[in-house]
Structure 1
């Protein structure tokens, strides 16, 4: 009992050291605001009308699967903004692409565009002064979602306020003039855009033009005006040297060559500005799924509840891509039940050698044998080059390639593209969002592309005659390779996954 009292006392002391900003201070910088939509006379509105006139009731969708093009599309759209930019991200990293992204937001503000930037606070510790400097521009507002109140000692914040800080905003969207939006799985950082040597995330975004954009606007406004969205000025009270912070951005921008990004940006901008853009469009019905900022499961647009309903209604096939896949007992039994009904259920996730978070693999592997025995097709993505190992906290490490796309395709008709992983964290803790589309033409293209590449880019997990797991590697010009343990994963990686698997932390993965 004395130990419990002592721990309680310490936790309260730590919490007391990190006080929430006063309501008066927050009100000084925070005023409700809502989406602005470019009027009919604007250039961008005219471009959108040219595209949507063919299918005014449907949403035009363009898929961004290549990292460089995905980054180039964002910059091209920011450069074309006339009225407003609304950006919502889980993470903007302090690297080249993060600096370029922020620099273009500043450039847009300088030409009169209103910029609203909402960032989760999980990775802003090194960016506080840069964000404060940007927010001093009259046209830029920056809000931090669910912040650490003590900006210097975040670890003590977590110890004293764990339940609140353990829930994060994982949403990702970028919307221009209330007319065009980019929604998907990418944060802003080099590894998401093919700009980092030792780690590249394979990911997926969608550009949307049409009725769904209004739903993304509503979702952004909901989070922007939520009580947990704090102005950076209320959190960072320091006087900052604005020019010094802008020079810091410039140094990050030119730390590595940006030549490939410049070329890709120019190419993609030309596509966006001419008629050939129509060649990349799929016309879809659909809706935006988004969790309530308070993660209220009764919210009608709740991501996990709606996706579960779509999966349960499947009649022929399910293709599920989730880099962090921890289905739990209920999810495992649900997928096996669907397979028992004759539905082709395929799951694509990371192998231990490819994942950037070995801890999550520890939660997944305990269900692997049960899934395979239940006729669920299981594919684990391979790293495309020798993995670089390093000691890291809680199982994180770098590999050359790692699956990061979160995508569901059901009956080659319905598609979900967004931020949602099939794991306890996405289901119960973090807020998520994405596009749920009814789009058979696009669904068939996605499935065809996956089926063409997956056999050579992944290991097929099967059971041998002794009912033990084995990994089958299909190679184009050589015989198949068979592995009886986690292929191409080092002993250190295997140890990480094993030791975390002993801990009662699955609900946090």
Structure 2
């Protein structure tokens, strides 16, 4: 009898501990309580290793090294203010401009030229040409790097550039690239490529940071050309996935001042992953200004006080007056994003969201669909992409701005992942993203409310369970 009481007391202590530590995040509290209720001991062990607050042990971000990087960027960047914005619609949004300007350390840059890259083949072609042009350094950071056809093609190119004397540094996420074999990494290192994992599995377990991922995709060539967007390095991103087939994604090539911000984010991550604080004047070379596009890079992560990705999306959504067009592979919004979308829909804003018809994760798909009913009641329209798997993370707000980046519209991207988004204000760039959206709508099917309400009871149960767990997905 006493052992039963002891077990009960331990169980109650576990629940109290979770409630106390997660009191700032009610949705996460419910999710962890559900797991602990179903799996009393296993659930708490999992909580111990996965749910550790990153900021509780974070290192001080604004040290001298990062201060030097920021100072260097600001000294060589054409910084844009509200009155100098080329986009007349943005000039009418001083509050939104103030918010976007305040998010992350990088300045609002005013001297850029961007190229929107649609899907894998176009992106890899542009990336390969950029890598071939490198003469001083290549900085590459991806969530996933695979040892497959695409991965080995990039590997050989990096080895070739290293043999030419180019400094090559590569970061891969320790969990996202968990399947990357050691032989692939060893071959790179033997050729002179510096390669480090960001929070590898052993370190994640030891430091109790298993739930945190570096989801950024960054390439910087000679400090002149940068790449950012949704694609990783692997065959599936070129459309070779047996189950998902065609892979719809969006990436971006950029030249100009915003590349300095990309460089700073990479160097920040490099110092964490490798312990090296790299500083060379050649990393921030002067450039010939070939365009006047205005771009802002917004980085976010669990090591910051501000959830910059969530703040960015929320601020953009509530500013919309005419349209919100969004594509996201994972739609697991928090309360603030749900309220912003519903308010916009009820106010007559044209809110359209493209999600996958065929997802690569059943539980995430069930969680996403648990939010659709309340959204559609408020006038939000959802479309299922029919041509394959849509993985692009893109957003258009009126004619004010467009967003291309690494962040999904989900709580993991808001609070757990290291992310990076490029905010575009140039009317031609926005139109280019809009053109892709219109083509995507043509191959998507609207989810009709009446048909959606006829889904099975089993489906509703799976949605309800997945929704409770969604803060952890």
Task: State whether TM-score is above 0.5.
Answer: yes
Q: Which residue of 2 aligns with 1:427?
A: 414
Q: Residues 186, 126 of structure 1: CA spacing in aligned structure 2 closer, same or farther, 3 A cutoff? A: closer
CA contact (8 A) 2:123 2:251 kept: yes
Q: Which residue of 1 aligns with 2:306?
A: 298
Deviation digits for residues 135-165 of structure 1 (CA, Å, limit 9, x no counterpart): 2334x21111011128xxxxxx75x76x511
SS at match of 1:451: helix
SS at match of 1:342: coil
Question: How much has 1:79 moved relative to structure 2?
Answer: 1.2
Question: How much has 1:442 moved relative to structure 2?
Answer: 2.3
Q: Which residue of 1 aligns with 2:444?
A: 458
Deviation digits for residues 178-199 of structure 1 (CA, Å, limit 9, x no counterpart): 1001110001011112344443
Give the Cα separation in 2 of the matches to 1:496 and 1:190. Answer: 32
Q: Residues 170, 62 of structure 1: CA spacing in aligned structure 2 closer, same or farther, 3 A cutoff? A: same
CA contact (8 A) 1:295 1:429 kept: no
Structure 2, unmatched stretches of 5+, are 1-5, 12-39, 50-64, 70-108, 277-289
Question: How much has 1:95 moved relative to structure 2?
Answer: 1.2
Question: Following superposition of structure 1 onto structure 2, how do residues 21-420 of structure 1 map, counting pairs within 5 Å?
Answer: 57-122=110-175, 123-138=177-192, 140-149=193-202, 163-198=208-243, 199-226=245-272, 228-229=273-274, 283-292=292-301, 294-298=302-306, 302-351=308-357, 354-382=358-386, 384=387, 401-420=388-407
Give the Cα separation in 2 of the matches to 1:173 and 1:497. Answer: 39
Give the Cα separation in 1 of the matches to 2:123 and 2:439. Answer: 22
Deviating more after overlay: 420-429 vs 332-341: 332-341
Please report the TM-score for the alignment, with normalisation by the length of structure 2: 0.70
Please report the TM-score for the alignment, with normalisation by the length of structure 1: 0.66
Q: Residues 59, 332 of structure 1: CA spacing in aligned structure 2 closer, same or farther, 3 A cutoff? A: same
Question: How much has 1:497 moved relative to structure 2?
Answer: 8.7
CA contact (8 A) 2:355 2:383 kept: yes
Task: Please tell me whether residue 506 in structure 1 is matched to residue 466 in structure 2.
Answer: no
Question: How much has 1:7 moved relative to structure 2?
Answer: 4.8
Q: Residues 500, 461 of structure 1: CA spacing in aligned structure 2 closer, same or farther, 3 A cutoff? A: closer
CA contact (8 A) 1:359 1:501 kept: no
**Larger helix proportion, structure 1 or 2?**
2
Question: How much has 1:438 moved relative to structure 2?
Answer: 0.3
SS at match of 1:307: helix
Give the Cα separation in 2 of the matches to 1:130 and 1:497. Answer: 44
Alignment RMSD (CA, Å): 3.2
Give the Cα separation in 2 of the matches to 1:178 and 1:330. Answer: 37
Question: How much has 1:11 moved relative to structure 2?
Answer: 5.3
Q: Residues 497, 296 of structure 1: CA spacing in aligned structure 2 closer, same or farther, 3 A cutoff? A: farther
Give the Cα separation in 2 of the matches to 1:498 and 1:67. Answer: 36
Give the Cα separation in 2 of the matches to 1:282 and 1:496. Answer: 51
Question: How much has 1:451 moved relative to structure 2?
Answer: 2.4
CA contact (8 A) 1:359 1:497 kept: no
Q: Residues 341, 11 of structure 1: CA spacing in aligned structure 2 closer, same or farther, 3 A cutoff? A: closer
Deviation digits for residues 447-488 of structure 1 (CA, Å, limit 9, x no counterpart): 244224414x11212223xxx627xxxxxxxxxxxxx559xx
Question: How much has 1:130 moved relative to structure 2?
Answer: 2.2
Structure 1, unmatched stretches of 5+, are 16-31, 36-55, 151-156, 232-280, 385-400, 471-483, 487-493
Deviation digits for residues 246-300 of structure 1 (CA, Å, limit 9, x no counterpart): xxxxxxxxxxxxxxxxxxxxxxxxxxxxxxxxxxx985212101114x432427x
CA contact (8 A) 2:370 2:463 kept: no
Question: How much has 1:121 moved relative to structure 2?
Answer: 0.8
CA contact (8 A) 2:110 2:292 kept: no
Q: Residues 485, 439 of structure 1: CA spacing in aligned structure 2 closer, same or farther, 3 A cutoff? A: farther
Question: How much has 1:307 moved relative to structure 2?
Answer: 2.7
Deviating more after overlay: 112-121 vs 496-505: 496-505
